Amino acid sequence: MRSVSGPRYRLGKFIVLPRTNELRHNGHAERVSPRAMQVLGLLMEAGTDCVSRNSIIERVWDDNFAVGDHGLRGAIWELRKALGDNPKRPEYIQTVPRRGYRLVQTAQGAGVYARFRRPALAAAAGAAAVLMLWLGTLPLLPQQSGDWRGPAPVVSGDRQRVAAVYEDRNQVDLYIWPGPFEDFANALAHGPGQPPDQARQITNSVALETSPVWSPDNQSLAFLEHPNGGSQCRVRIYDVDQARLRTLAEDCFVVSSPVTIVPSQLAWSPDGRFLTYQARTAGDGDSAVLARVEVDQPVNNRAITERRPGIDAFPRYSSDGRLAFLRLQDSMMAAAQLHVLDAAARPVLVCPTTQIWGLAWVGQDYLVSAAAQNNPFSLWLLDTSTGLTLRAGSRARHIQSSTVADTLLVDHYRAEPLLQLSSLTHERPPENLEVPGIPIAVAAQGDQLAVVTASSGGAHLFVLEPSGSFRPVFTAREIYRPAISPDGRRIVLSTRNSLNENTRPVVIDLVTQATSELAVGDGAVFFGAWMPEGQGFYALHGVPSPLGRRAVLKAHWMDGRAPETLAADTGITIAAPADGSLWWADDRGDIWRKAKPDVDAPVEPVLRLSSLYDSWTVDVEGQRLLFTERNGPGVSLMELDRVTGQLQERLTLASGLDPILGVALGQDDTLIYRRTSPVWNGRSTVPAEAFVGLAQNSDYRWQQCFHPEHPTGQKIAGH
């Protein structure tokens, strides 16, 4: 495959080539992943200013915290390895504790840095020319100089004030907006991004301000203030009417791991007399208890919980004075217990849990948490009277506050349980097709549509009936990559029922619903595609990219011939259109095509994806390739005509598509994909009463809390 070097930039002694993901020095090239190059691009655009971890994850991983946090650490490690950089004595990339990363030196030419697509396109049939795609100068950073820092703004109980943290270059400060949250969101949506004129700046320092929380009378705002990267921490309060800042305590502890600053570390008592916060324990470097300080008498502070190894975090009061908090084993929050104390600070409920990022009371009986029982993060509801935990359909990383008794404000990732069908050849509105659960994979063949969804009991395969309803066909713990046979009668998929098992391909007869397991040898097998005439199938052996590395693509024949290895280092998506050709992607994001897989035909390069996480598919005739690419905060669906080399944009979506879900082409060129709901900056208000109802109607619950009247240990599936 011939490559085009494209634009180049100098970073110290290295030449940066974004098009080929290379760092060159003295004739030697170090290649990095597309994501690592995107991270480097963000740092280059910022000069030597710090770029926060949240900003990088938002831009490079579409604000997917569960994947992005791990991916960012890997990308930084990859860049440092390629640059030969020592993190303890950095020459190129410096870690800014609790904030993000910055370049030690400015890259030459980085002010006009742009992402380039790096494909090699097949031109007209028989031609050997290689075409380069120029997709414009898409900026990696927002155009404004600063950014509203996550998680979410904090709304006062009367809804007439909003507190938000604004980050501009190396300074993070608190602002108050004198009006409803909706007006605040609209001002940012239609403004240039900097603080609106109506917003009042209440801090101006080099310290970080975090965890703002409004008093019950909505007249005061409490927050934590601590130096960037320092261990000192102060509890401060701002009186709105008097425009006065006061310090209440100087011994607070801030949970700041594993990513940036964790919210919700302050709580007002219901009467507004006390503030509860996390206080450092003497002599313990990573330990904290909950303490309370009297607002009008700051010298009167005392511990609420006992000194012990670990961290007591996320204090939240109910309206009747009960205190809920999380007891962490360490700041990584891998394991924890949820505790509830009565008004006299006596324990009444203890619930084992995993990662929780924020708590909020709904009325007097329910606690809402954002927890990673299984990634991605989800919203959970705890009935404190019974100890029953219920999962709701919304996703969230943080819960910043309970704005009023009936509304929550969350920082979340909403994946609606919908599939959206949009025609590429007819001007008609998209159709929403409800499926039972959250869709995680889709397959189409002519007028046949199959969907894999996740809900209680694992994964479920459904097929669309002519009546418009979905018929359940198969259930397992995990289901991967279903594919419908050319005659529409069979589906083959990969499945397993235990983490100790390898995935195995299973064929399902859609008429009789009989299942049979295909013998493909040892090792994990991810099914790829049927051969056009149904005489065999293509399977991926091993864990393919982007889930893993070094998978092998093999052809399996129904007539008993020995399997044939066709390609190594393959990605997760395989296509076998009716013209008999075979298409696949490799670990680098290159898409390849082989005209006749069963003979010694040449392999031709078609396109290089900008990311291993891009989705792609091929039309039934093998003439058109559809693929996704980043388009600012969203994604564009591009179409490449393989014969003419013509490239055009077909569709713009609000956010990215998971390559496992991917895109599929159905009958009459109907494009099938999952729709995501665009919300302001990833945040949304959730009506708490509706949320409670949603959780109680959920299909998954368990009882796991220590409660005097309700013993623990029983796990319940179903409503």
- What is the model's pLDDT at position 53? 80
pLDDT at 390 over 80: no
User: Greater confidence, 283 or 475?
Assistant: 475
What kind and span of H or E run contains 539? strand 536-541
Q: What is the mean pLDDT of the chain?
A: 75
Identify whether residues 378 and 453 lie together within a single domain.
Answer: no
75-89, 106-120, 390-404, 658-672: least confidently modelled range: 106-120
pLDDT at residue number 121? 24
Which pLDDT score, from 0 to 100, does residue 509 have?
Answer: 93
103 or 189, which is more confident: 103
* Residue 334 counted as domain residue: no
Largest CA distance in the chain: 85
Position 652 pLDDT exceeds 80: no
* Neighbour tally for 34: CB within 10 Å: 22
Q: Is the pLDDT of residue 491 over 90?
A: yes
Q: Look at residue 603 and tell me if it is in a domain.
A: yes
Is there a domain that residue 648 lies in?
Answer: no
The dihedral of CA 282, 286, 290, 293: what is its sign?
A: positive
- The predicted pLDDT at position 672 comes to 83
Q: What is the pLDDT of residues 242-253, one digit of tens each?
A: 999 999 998 887
pLDDT at residue 651 in the model: 77
β-pair partners for 472: 462
Q: What percent of the chain has pLDDT over 70?
A: 72
Query: Model confidence at 535, in pLDDT bands (50, 70, 90)?
Result: confident
In this structure, the answer to whether residues 450 and 533 fall within a common structural domain is yes
Amino acid 8 reads R
Query: H helices within 62-111, ranges in order?
Result: 65-83
Question: Is 534 a residue whose pLDDT tops 80?
Answer: yes
Same domain, residue pair 79 and 21: yes
Average pLDDT over residues 563-574: 89
Residue 570 covered by a domain: yes
Asked whether residue 209 is domain-assigned, the answer is no
Q: Which residues contact 277 (CB under 8 A, 6 or more apart)?
A: 224, 235, 249, 252, 265, 266, 267, 290, 291, 292, 293, 315
398 and 448 both lie in a single domain: no
CATH code assigned at 13: 1.10.10.10
My answer on whether 366 and 353 are in the same domain is: yes
Range of the domain at 33: 9-118
pLDDT of 589 higher than 70: yes
Q: Is residue 49 part of a domain?
A: yes
| Residue (of 575, 667, 668, 677) closest to 627 by Cα position | 575
Is residue 403, in this structure, part of any structural domain at all? yes
**Highest-confidence segment of 159-168, 255-264, 531-540:** 531-540
**Confidence check: pLDDT of 190 > 90:** no
Q: Which of 58, 91, 118 is the last residue of a domain?
A: 118
pLDDT classification of 5: cutoffs 50, 70, 90: very low
Same domain, 466 and 584: yes
| 396 and 477 assigned to the same domain | no
Residue 131 confidence (pLDDT)? 15
* Confidence bin at 395 (pLDDT 50/70/90): low
Q: Which of 109-118, 406-415, 513-522, 695-704 has the lowest mean pLDDT?
A: 109-118
Mean pLDDT over 365-382 rounds to: 72
Q: What is the pLDDT of residue 222?
A: 93
The more confidently predicted of residues 229 and 470 is 470
**Do 670 and 689 fall within a single domain?**
no
Instruction: Please check the confidence at residue 391 and state whether its pLDDT lies above 80.
Output: no
Residues 554 and 664 in one domain: yes
Strand partners, 328: 311, 336
Tell me what pLDDT residue 716 has: 33
CATH number of the domain at 577, please.
2.120.10.30
Contact 476, 496 (CB under 8 A): yes
Residue 30 pLDDT more than 50? yes
Split at pLDDT 50, 70, 90, the class of 348 is confident
Shared-domain flag, residues 669 and 683: no
604, 483: one domain: yes
Helix axes 34-45, 65-83, angle to 10 degrees: 80
Write down the pLDDT at residue 145: 40
pLDDT surpasses 80 at 414: no
Distance, CA of 278 to CA of 390 (rounded, Å): 28
- Poorest-confidence range of 68-77, 186-195, 299-308, 579-588? 186-195
Residue 467 confidence (pLDDT): 81
Look at residue 664 and tell me if it is in a domain: yes
pLDDT of residue 120: 26
Q: How far is CA 555 from CA 479, 524, 559, 599, in A?
A: 21, 15, 12, 12
pLDDT of residue 264: 63
Q: Which of 72, 92, 118 is the last residue of a domain?
A: 118
Tell me what pLDDT residue 625 has.
93
- 444 with 367, same domain? no
Give the CA angle between residues 654, 657, 658 to the nearest 5°.
Answer: 150
What value does the mean pLDDT take over residues 339-362? 81
- pLDDT > 90? residue 591: yes
For the segment 69-80, the average pLDDT, to the nearest whole number, is 79
- Which of 52, 85, 118 is the C-terminal boundary of a domain? 118
The total of structural domains in the chain comes to 3
Judged against a pLDDT cut of 80, whether residue 35 lies above it is answered with yes
